[in-house]
């Protein structure tokens, strides 16, 4: 697709979509009481349904990759089209008009892991994985957090020990999204306990089907199991699957984390495909509260905060797409996203009252409880709110660093995780 004008590209993309996917009914508007009554942060499905949805997502991704639309801005040597961000935006704008399978199984693999592989992996690993990931022959996950190292990621204790041309990985990760259907994972491990905690880390690509890898589901208070804990028992990784230099894993992790925070900050989700705020507005109308001045004022504030966050997200993403390193904008985006979700839950709780906690069969009431129960997790995922505020305070406001962070002592001397005893 080299040397193609935007106009010709859009014409080709429209022809491809017309031939391979049905158009959405653009005239259909949200009507209170009709359609799926689902409002949740995370889709919660049984295993059989989930695997079927992943299979449909992969099939669509392969179809558009083979047609040249699977990695529009990617390098040609890895199957990309080598076009501009403007071409990508044009395609996504067109694709949104068609009814295609949800692409959520690739949010982490393509939004966070693949860009890290492109930036830090060996040529052998890039050749092996990038084309397969963007074609959905492989699905990726991220393996960072641990029971004793969540927001303070640099305190992680999963270790990787060198053994010739291989590394032996041992430890536990937690809150891993999509591990149950992923083929590979990006893992950060401790490779030198004599270095300060930020400097003794190394990134790797691990085969999720390798001997010694065990994935267990984590049950949430919503009743679902969208996350997993993953155990590594002497899992062997080839050295050419290392990401970046030995003991430079912190910089590798930052590449991934900033993209993760951008994804979380972008918000959305829930509502059975309906814009969440459209549903809220119709809920207010349904219960006859659209003339209440206090409710109208709170609803206006919700929409204003969401709009401002959207502008900040766009500025941050434009910076990334321009090839610049992501900065504290991602932390602001993530923090704003979770705060907006909390504001939304508070507003819904005020409008619904007891209807939120008692399932009496009324459409559009109890369903919101899934969102209310799932939202607190957003304050932790991708870095806690407290860590995000520290980053903004230090890097934007110029405030002094947190005195509790020891970035000089050898990791083996720190009282963290299981080393506290």
The residues annotated with a catalytic role in the active site are 260
CA angle 60/214/137 to nearest 5° reads 20
The secondary structure element, H or E, covering residue 55 is helix 47-66
Token look-up 């206006």 returns 300
DSSP H or E segment with residue 188? strand 184-190
Burial of 93 (0-12, 13-18, 19+ CB in 10 A): exposed
Strand (E) or helix (H) holding 60? helix 47-66
CA distance 144 to 174: 8
- Among 5, 217, 17, 194, smallest CA distance to 100 is for 17
Neighbours of 266 (CB within 10 A): 18
| 380/300 Cα distance (integer angstroms) | 27
Q: Using CA atoms, how far apart are residues 219 and 210, in angstroms rounded to an integer? A: 24
The H-or-E segment that residue 216 falls in is strand 213-218
47's enclosing H/E stretch is: helix 47-66
H/E/C letters for each residue in 221-282? CCCCCCEEEEEEEEEEEEHHHEECCCCCHHHHHHHHHHHHHHHHHHCCCCHHHCCHHHHHHH
Q: Where are the alpha helices (DSSP H) in 267-368?
A: 276-286, 293-321, 329-352
In a 3-state reduction of DSSP, which class is residue 146?
Answer: strand
Are 267 and 335 in contact by the 8 Å Cβ rule? The answer is no
C-alpha distances in angstroms, 360 versus 41, 180, 266? Answer: 22, 34, 33
């Amino acid at each position: 697709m080299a040397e193609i004008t935007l106009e010709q590209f859009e014409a080709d993309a429209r022809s491809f979509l017309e031939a391979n996917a049905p158009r959405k009914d653009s005239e259909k508007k949200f009507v209170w009481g009709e359609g799926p009554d689902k409002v949740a942060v995370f889709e919660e499905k049984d295993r059989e349904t989930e695997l079927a949805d992943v299979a449909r997502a992969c099939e669509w991704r392969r179809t558009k990759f083979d047609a040249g639309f699977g990695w529009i801005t990617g390098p040609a040597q890895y199957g990309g089209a080598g076009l501009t961000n403007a071409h990508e935006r044009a395609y996504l704008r067109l694709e949104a008009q068609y009814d295609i399978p949800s692409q959520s199984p690739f949010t982490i693999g393509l939004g966070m892991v693949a860009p890290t592989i492109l930036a830090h992996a060996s040529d052998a690993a890039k050749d092996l994985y990038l084309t397969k990931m963007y074609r959905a022959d492989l699905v990726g996950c991220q393996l960072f957090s641990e029971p004793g190292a969540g927001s303070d990621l640099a305190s992680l204790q999963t270790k990787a020990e060198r053994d010739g041309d291989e590394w032996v990985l041992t430890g536990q990760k937690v809150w891993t999204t999509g591990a149950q259907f992923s083929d590979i994972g990006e893992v950060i491990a401790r490779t030198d306990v004599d270095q300060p905690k930020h400097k003794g880390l190394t990134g790797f690509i691990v085969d999720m089907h390798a001997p010694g890898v065990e994935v267990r589901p984590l049950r949430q208070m919503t009743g679902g199991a969208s996350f997993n804990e993953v155990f590594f028992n002497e899992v062997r990784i080839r050295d050419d699957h290392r990401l970046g230099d030995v003991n430079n894993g912190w910089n590798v992790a930052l590449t991934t984390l900033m993209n993760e925070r951008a994804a979380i900050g972008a918000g959305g989700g829930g509502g059975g495909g309906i814009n969440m705020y459209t549903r809220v507005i119709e809920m207010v109308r349904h219960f006859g509260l659209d003339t209440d001045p206090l409710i109208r004022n709170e609803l206006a504030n919700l929409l204003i905060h969401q709009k401002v966050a959207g502008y900040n997200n766009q500025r941050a993403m434009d910076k990334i797409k321009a090839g610049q390193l992501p900065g504290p904008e991602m932390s602001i985006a993530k923090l704003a996203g979770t705060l907006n979700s909390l504001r939304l839950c508070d507003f819904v709780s005020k409008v619904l009252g007891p209807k939120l906690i008692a399932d009496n069969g009324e459409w559009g009431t109890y369903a919101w409880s899934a969102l209310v129960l799932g939202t607190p997790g957003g304050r932790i995922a991708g870095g806690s709110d407290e860590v995000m505020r520290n980053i903004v305070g230090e890097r934007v406001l110029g405030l002094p660093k947190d005195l509790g962070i020891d970035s000089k002592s050898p990791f083996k001397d720190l009282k963290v995780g299981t080393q506290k005893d």
